[in-house]
Amino acid sequence: MSTSTDIETTYADDAEKVSLWDRIGRPVAPFAWPMVLAGAVILAAGCFLSWSYTDEVLGDLSIDFYPGAVQNLMIIAAVLAVIFALMYRGPFSRLGEWLASATALRVLGLGTTVFMALVIALIGVQAGGLVNVMPGAWISFVGAVLILLGAAGLTPRASKDPLHAHLPSWLEILTIVALLAIVLFGAAYVLDIEDGTVFSLVVLFTGLVAFTLTRAGFFTWVGIIAQTHRRVLMLGAVAVAFLFPFTQDGSDANMSIATQVLIFASTALGLNIVVGLAGLLDLGYIAFLGAGAYVGAMFSHSAFATIGWKPNFLLVVIFGALVSATLGLIIGSPTLRVSGDYLAIVTLAFGEIFRLAMGNLDGQDGPRLTNGPNGIPAIPDLEIGSFNFGETHEVFGITLGRFANYYFLLLVVAAIIITVFTRLNNSRIGRGWIAIREDEKAAEAMGVNTFGLKLFAFAGGAFLAGMAGTIKAHHDVSVTPDQYIFLESAFLLAAVVLGGMGTVAGVLIGATILKLMPEKLRFVADYRLLIFGLLLVLMMRFRPEGLVASKRRQLEFHEEDEELADRVEEVHLVEEQEAKA
Amino acid sequence: MSAMLEVRDLVVSYGKIKAVKGISFSVDQGEVVSLIGTNGAGKTTTLRTISGLMRPTSGSIRFMGKRIDDVAAHDIVTLGIAHSPEGRRIFPRLSVEQNLRLGAFARRDNEVGKDLKAVYELFPILEERSQQPAGTFSGGEQQMLAMGRAMMSRPKLLMLDEPSMGLSPIMMKRIMSTVTTLQQQGTTILLVEQNAQAALQRANHGYVLEVGKIVLKGSGKELLTSDEVRKAYLGED
């Protein structure tokens, strides 16, 4: 008896869920498809007209037939809407069997409507009243609403599993290359936006497009082809990262942000080994970066350096990494025997001890190593061989400044860390870490050296952070204790959690978001704790596995999801077949 | 010939509380030995101490003539003792095959694939569902997986902690007959059970534990027919 009621309730729930869209969509259902198309055309048409009376808000949106940045975004949205509509019915309908076009259109319609409303509101607020909103904006708004209503009238269909889509491999590779190119030019474009509000709108729109494509199932397919063409993707990503400085033409402003993002991302990737792979919560990780930075500073040619010996920089890098790793061993060996929460508290305290110790080793309270709170300033630029990192260089007629030089060096460091990360993840050690994360006691009974592996993760992570730290010292010019406060550790952890624990791509994205936003947006910088806190809470509620989820992780957070379990199973099968072939 | 596993005057405590109060027993090569007793008798503690997950307060444990009471847990697995822990403790989110491969973690040879096949032969259901997350399994299937996982380390001595716990009578029979199969294949087995009947029927030797002490020992048959066991564990007057 009870079972039958249960079933009925589930049906009732499902019916309710569908009805929200359906109730809106039912009256327009007969002409929903032309409505979407018309909406897209109207949306785009509005973009070619003036949106605002003054040319001072949101870049310049006041000229007819000359779309500004924000208008270009809506043209892209319109093009996407047309493509999805033609997938639903029309010339691309074969493609529509694979992608959930109706669902995507609903997301896109809702997104563009909200976006247009936001833009109109912003014009009203910034220009002083809605009078300043020109007809073009209203036309585009109507277009967006038409897409939304039309999409509601479409019937979502089950799409085929992209796992079975066997496209010619040149097409798959082309897709990867195209996506990477979009990333490269997108990044260059976004970084060049001066206006904070426009920047936010572009970021918002990027999120909207990403979400639309995710709901359409596009990224599932991208994930699969990325897996099959791992080499291409990796080479491509390296090429994109390498080419980025050449898009900046000597501008140091963006390159300095890029190097900061790289330092932050490299450190977060190191932390990801500790947190994401071995499952150890480390709240004092910044201390390891700091240890490396201090070693780098003490052995530098700065007049304030406290150690007279000036070895080769490569030696300093190794030395800094070793000092960090030793600290990791010292702090890890007594604490890693106890369970997670204790470790978190001890590492938190360790981070503070490090900072305070560095603030006191000034010759009065201890040996003169760090100059106390003043730190070690005036660290000269690196010189490796005859290559001075402070100088500007001309390559193919493009100027590469100081920060571009450091960028390339940090790229090498990041590459090393990513290599170590993936190698470890796919190794015997990686399997041991999985077992420890899942059930430490059972892992021990299986013959996993749990203490040894945890200590290895801890010291290994510290080693990599120390390595990055030695370069950071020269990049930052000065090293002081207040650069290594607890908040920095918290941000590193936030980058890992936000991006997706245990993934490389996720942590790179997370680190970029967390470092880039405050740099580009004044108000984010002012309220960054509030904003990042909110962001994390929302993430925990709606996507606890992070922006990019490793398949295994996803299962950890959605155990009840049987469909996902089947998918994981299939992915395993495909991997197995590939391994056999 | 000396015993494969020799436990002498073993005392194990949790803080001040002694869970095992000086027990001695031995397991010979090729035998099935059962430790039976009620909750809190110290059976699980004994197994955990043998596999190195806990340290004894005093006493000694010898395996193949070598003292192992101060050897690390992961080295004990390498020496040839596998422990299928209480409550099975499979990795629920990993696939069956990943679970089994983790069972072979301590090994460094390349015959793991061969043993995987052997486990699949023993439990065909595991092969059918080899890519399924282990947490979706029923209790009996999980127990099969736990036993299979323990076998993946190629143990000389297999320790099973309450394999029949929470299983249907049919599934229990199935598991217990696997114990006999494994014995026939040459694995020595130390079996801890609350279900005295099932455990003693298949045991060459048995020991009855009560609050940390061995109160009775003998061959499986002797214990099954002894009055004390019949009264205390089989519910017969």
pLDDT at A223: 83
pLDDT at A408: 92
Q: Residues of B with CB below 8 A from A441's CB? A: 53, 85, 89
Supply the Cα-derived Rg of chain A in whole angstroms: 27
Residue A432 placed within a domain: yes
Nearest-angstrom CA–CA distance, A546 and A558:
13
Nearest-angstrom CA–CA distance, A461 and A25:
53
CA angle A148, A151, A155 (to 5 degrees): 155
Question: Residue B63's closest CA among B39, B29, B35, B93?
Answer: B29
Residue A312 placed within a domain: yes
pLDDT at A6: 43
pLDDT at A250: 67
Contact A211, A362 (CB under 8 A): no
Binning pLDDT at 50, 70 and 90, where does residue A19 land?
A: low
Q: Residues of A with CB below 8 A from B90's CB? A: 442
- Among A439, A444, A568, select the one facing B53 at the smallest CB separation: A444
Residue A379 placed within a domain: yes
Chain B residues with CB within 8 Å of chain A CB: 51, 53, 72-74, 76-78, 83, 85, 89-95, 97-98, 101-103, 105-106, 131-133, 135-136, 149, 153
Find the CATH number of the domain harbouring A346.
1.10.3470
Rounded to two decimals, the ipTM of the complex is 0.86
Residue A376 placed within a domain: yes
- Residues A226 and A258 both lie in one domain: no
* Domain-terminating residue out of A237, A261, A294: A237
Residue A102 placed within a domain: yes
Q: Which residues contact B6 (CB under 8 A, 6 or more apart)?
A: B26, B60, B61, B62, B63
Q: Are A448 and B105 an interchain contact pair (Cβ–Cβ within 8 Å)?
A: yes
Q: How far is CA A34 from the centre of its chain?
A: 37
- Mean pLDDT, rounded, for A141-160: 89
Which of A426, A438, A440, A446 to probe by mutation at the B interface, max B CB count within 10 Å?
A: A446
Residue A578 placed within a domain: no
- Among B85, B101, B131, select the one facing A445 at the smallest CB separation: B85
Q: For residue A422, what are the domain limits?
A: 252-548
Distance from the B103 Cα atom to the nearest Cα atom in chain A, whole angstroms = 5
Specify the range with the lowest mean pLDDT, choosing from A154-158, A161-165, A211-215, A487-491. Answer: A161-165
pLDDT at A110: 94
Backbone angles phi, psi at B80, to 5 degrees: 120, 25
Predicted confidence (pLDDT) at residue A556 exceeds the cutoff of 80? no
Q: Which residue shows structure tokens 């509101």? A: A121
Q: Are A441 and B74 an interchain contact pair (Cβ–Cβ within 8 Å)?
A: no
Question: Residue A84's closest CA among A54, A109, A115, A58?
Answer: A109
Q: How many CB pairs under 8 A join A and B?
A: 80
- Residues A193 and A290 both lie in one domain: no
Q: Are A444 and B105 an interchain contact pair (Cβ–Cβ within 8 Å)?
A: no
- Among A447, A565, A573, select the one facing B78 at the smallest CB separation: A447
- Mean pLDDT, rounded, for A359-382: 83
Distance from the A224 Cα atom to the nearest Cα atom in chain B, whole angstroms = 18
- Residues A479 and A405 both lie in one domain: yes
Look at chain A and report how many structural domains it folds into: 2
Distance from the B125 Cα atom to the nearest Cα atom in chain A, whole angstroms = 16
- Mean pLDDT, rounded, for A263-269: 94
Q: What is the percent of chain A with per-residue pLDDT over 70, rounded to a whole number?
A: 91
Q: Are A565 and B83 an interchain contact pair (Cβ–Cβ within 8 Å)?
A: no
Q: Which residues contact A128 (CB under 8 A, 6 or more apart)?
A: none
Contact A139, A42 (CB under 8 A): yes
B159 to chain A: closest CA residue: A445
Which of the residues in chain B have pLDDT under 50? none
- Residues A182 and A274 both lie in one domain: no
Convert B40-50 to b/e letters by CB count within 10 Å (16 or more is b). ebbbbbbbbbb
pLDDT at B155: 93
* Domain-terminating residue out of A181, A209, A237: A237
Question: Residue A496's closest CA among A448, A445, A440, A553?
Answer: A553
Q: Are B93 and A552 an interchain contact pair (Cβ–Cβ within 8 Å)?
A: yes
- Among A435, A552, A556, select the one facing B105 at the smallest CB separation: A435
Binning pLDDT at 50, 70 and 90, where does residue A396 land?
A: confident
- Residues A98 and A141 both lie in one domain: yes
- CA distance readout (Å), A393 to A191, A252, B102: 22, 13, 53
Which of B68, B84, B96, B105 to probe by mutation at the A interface, max A CB count within 10 Å?
A: B105
Predicted confidence (pLDDT) at residue A345 exceeds the cutoff of 80? yes
- Residues A113 and A193 both lie in one domain: yes
Of residues A103 and A581, more confidence is placed in A103
Predicted confidence (pLDDT) at residue A5 exceeds the cutoff of 80? no
Q: At what angle do helices A486-499 and A286-298 cross, to 10 degrees?
A: 120
- Residues A334 and A453 both lie in one domain: yes
- Residues A200 and A278 both lie in one domain: no
- Mean pLDDT, rounded, for A277-298: 93
Q: Are A446 and B51 an interchain contact pair (Cβ–Cβ within 8 Å)?
A: no
pLDDT at B58: 94
Decide: helix, strand or coil at residue A8: helix
Residue A279 placed within a domain: yes
Specify the range with the lowest mean pLDDT, choosing from A141-150, A215-224, A334-343, A555-564. Answer: A555-564
- Residues A233 and A288 both lie in one domain: no
Q: Say what the pTM is.
A: 0.81
Q: Are B53 and A435 an interchain contact pair (Cβ–Cβ within 8 Å)?
A: no
* Domain-terminating residue out of A237, A268, A294: A237
- Residues A186 and A260 both lie in one domain: no
Residue A541 placed within a domain: yes
Averaged confidence pLDDT in chain A: 85
- Residues A544 and A459 both lie in one domain: yes
pLDDT at A467: 94
Tens of pLDDT, residues A494-547: 999 998 888 888 999 999 988 888 877 777 778 888 888 888 888 888 888 888
What ranges in A26-155 are assigned the alpha helix state H?
Answer: 32-47, 69-88, 93-96, 101-127, 135-153
Q: Which residue shows structure tokens 């269909």? A: A157
- Residues A94 and A218 both lie in one domain: yes
**Using CA of residue A524, residue A525, residue A529, residue A535, what is the dihedral sign?**
positive
**Using CA of residue A321, residue A322, residue A325, residue A330, what is the dihedral sign?**
negative
